[in-house]
Amino acid sequence: MRSLNCRNIAEALVSKGLAMVVKYRPDDDQRSSRYDDLLTAENKAIKSQLGVHSKKDNPGLRVTEIDAARAKLELSAFQRAQRIDAIVEFVASGSRLRLYIPKSNSLCTFLLGGINCPRATRQATGNAPATDGEPYGDEALVFTKEQCLQKEVSIQVDTHDKAGNFIGWLWVDNVNMSVALVKNGFASVHFTGEKSQYASVLKGAEESAKAQKLRIWKDYVEEEKEEKKEEERVPTERQVNYEDVVVTEVTPEGNFYVQKISEGPKAEDLFAKLRQEFQANPPLPGAYTAKRGDICAAKFTGDDEWYRVKVEKVHGGNATVHYIDYGNKETLPTTRLASLPAAYASEKPFATEYILPYVSLPKDEEYAALAIKYLKEDTAVSKLLMNVEYRNPGSPQAASLYSEKTSEGDIIKNLITEGTV
């Protein structure tokens, strides 16, 4: 019979009323060698009315699931606590774990902070199809499982994302798991890690993994440092010129299209006249032959109205088009395309593409998709303030977005705070 710290576990459970003794006849060979001790412990528990022997109604242990709403309520308390004890219930990937927190009788999803960890393979569940993992994603999952699963750990919570998942640091046997994953070549340092209190140890771990060409760094080749001539740079002040805009599209790459609200009436007038033109002179389906690069009209499948588009690709009887006044794209039959009357072709597009300034999407596809989701949610309002920050040759301008003229209204800053970019 197993023991813990020289104490019989079965006897300990019985003495607290958490188990009952199986009764045997005196001549039964299956009876425990500690049978008499077990009976004595059970009698004491019965007299003390402990556990299952209690005459009071047992309400049971209620475990709370920490969702997005509860995460907001718990965050400040968790941050003040510094280190919180927890037990790892499940490991979903190298950097994503399910934790039970005894202090609050709660379950939460916990994301290891400061790192980019490759995604593990996912099995098909319900309506969600199976997805392939990234290189070394499955190995990272195994590593974290071996180190943490069903073990007592301590965590430090920095923040949470919109789904209510806590983001922070986790220690098992006083080993920082973010550092351990980086040190063993299972993860790289995220830009949030470079700004954290563990930046130096994370960077040291990454340099060590690179030098040994461990796992994700197997094919790493150090870039040759180019000698750059020092140039005198005249510091320039940030120019602020807010414009009222509405975001009409967010692309899979994290870019976004906006329409200036001041141009709204002009755009609506053009669209109304274009539709009147097609109502008066309906185009013959199939009469127009689309070619790549053409500016023409398309009947949007969402509302069956005509809009201006640019043809990006023609394949078979379908065409992929870009709605130049909104930024969205779709593939539709070429029979839904028509020649654009010359009077409507000269007007410049009402939607302009911009990029996010000073930030980039995570390399991890799951986190990148989460960033896109949050950006779409934050920009799905009737009016935003936009300020062009800088221009890069050969790419769209970089612009900041604000829901109001305060730091709380800075959409880019909010994405950084949530750890999604």
What is the domain-level CATH number for residue 301?
A: 2.30.30.140
Q: Are residues 251 and 397 in the same domain?
A: yes
* The pLDDT of residue 227 is above 60: no
Residue spans of alpha helices (H) in 350-407? 365-379
Q: Are residues 14 and 141 in the same domain?
A: no
* The pLDDT of residue 283 is above 80: yes
Q: How far apart are CA 7 and CA 186, in angstroms?
A: 40
* The pLDDT of residue 271 is above 50: yes
Q: Are residues 250 and 374 in the same domain?
A: yes
Q: Are residues 207 and 71 in the same domain?
A: yes
Which H, E and C letters describe 157-177, residue by residue?
EEEECCCCCEEEEEEECCEEH
Of 344, 364, 383, which closes a domain?
A: 344
Indicate which CATH number applies to the domain containing 389: 2.40.50.90
Q: Are residues 330 and 375 in the same domain?
A: no
Which H, E and C letters describe 194-234, residue by residue?
HCCCCHHHHHHHHHHHHHHCCHHHCCCCCCCCCCCCCCCCC
Q: Are residues 69 and 183 in the same domain?
A: yes
Q: pLDDT value at position 226?
A: 46
Q: Is residue 191 part of a domain?
A: yes
The answer to whether 230 and 352 are in contact (CB under 8 A) is: no
The answer to whether 399 and 354 are in contact (CB under 8 A) is: yes
* The pLDDT of residue 4 is above 80: no
Work out the pLDDT band at 222, boundaries 50, 70, 90. confident
Work out the pLDDT band at 394, boundaries 50, 70, 90. confident
Amino acid identity, residue 324? Answer: I
Q: Is residue 263 part of a domain?
A: no
Query: Quick one: DSSP state of residue 128?
Result: B
Mean pLDDT of the chain: 88
Q: Are residues 167 and 193 in the same domain?
A: yes
Work out the pLDDT band at 230, boundaries 50, 70, 90. very low
In terms of Cα–Cα distance, which of 84, 16, 26 is closest to 50?
16
Number of domains comprising the chain: 4
With 0-12 / 13-18 / 19 or more C-beta atoms within 10 angstroms meaning exposed / middle / buried, residue 120 is buried
Question: pTM of the prediction?
Answer: 0.53
Q: How far apart are CA 120 and CA 135, in angstroms?
A: 8
Q: Are residues 76 and 15 in the same domain?
A: no
Q: Are residues 200 and 141 in the same domain?
A: yes
Determine which of 31-45, 111-125, 218-232, 274-288 has the lowest per-residue pLDDT on average. Answer: 218-232
Q: How far apart are CA 326 and CA 115, in angstroms?
A: 36
Q: Are residues 118 and 162 in the same domain?
A: yes
SS3 label, residue 142:
helix
CB atoms under 10 Å from CB of 133, counted, come to 17
Q: Is residue 86 part of a domain?
A: yes
* The pLDDT of residue 343 is above 90: no
In terms of Cα–Cα distance, which of 392, 412, 390, 409 is closest to 400?
412
Q: Is residue 59 part of a domain?
A: no
Which tokens in the block code for residue 342? 């010359």
Q: Are residues 366 and 289 in the same domain?
A: no
Which tokens in the block code for residue 101? 């927190």
Q: Is residue 9 part of a domain?
A: yes
In terms of Cα–Cα distance, which of 359, 328, 154, 195 is closest to 367?
359
Of 298, 320, 344, which closes a domain?
A: 344
SS3 label, residue 420:
coil
With 0-12 / 13-18 / 19 or more C-beta atoms within 10 angstroms meaning exposed / middle / buried, residue 195 is exposed
The answer to whether 177 and 148 are in contact (CB under 8 A) is: yes
Q: Is residue 234 part of a domain?
A: no
Q: Over range 128-152, report the average pLDDT.
A: 91
Q: Are residues 202 and 294 in the same domain?
A: no
In terms of Cα–Cα distance, which of 175, 101, 185, 100 is closest to 139?
185
Q: Is residue 288 part of a domain?
A: yes
**Which domain, by its residues, includes 361?**
243-255+356-417
Query: Quick one: DSSP state of residue 203?
Result: H
Query: Quick one: DSSP state of residue 188?
Result: E
Q: Is residue 303 part of a domain?
A: yes
Query: Quick one: DSSP state of residue 105?
Result: T
Q: How far apart are CA 269 and CA 267, in angstroms?
A: 5
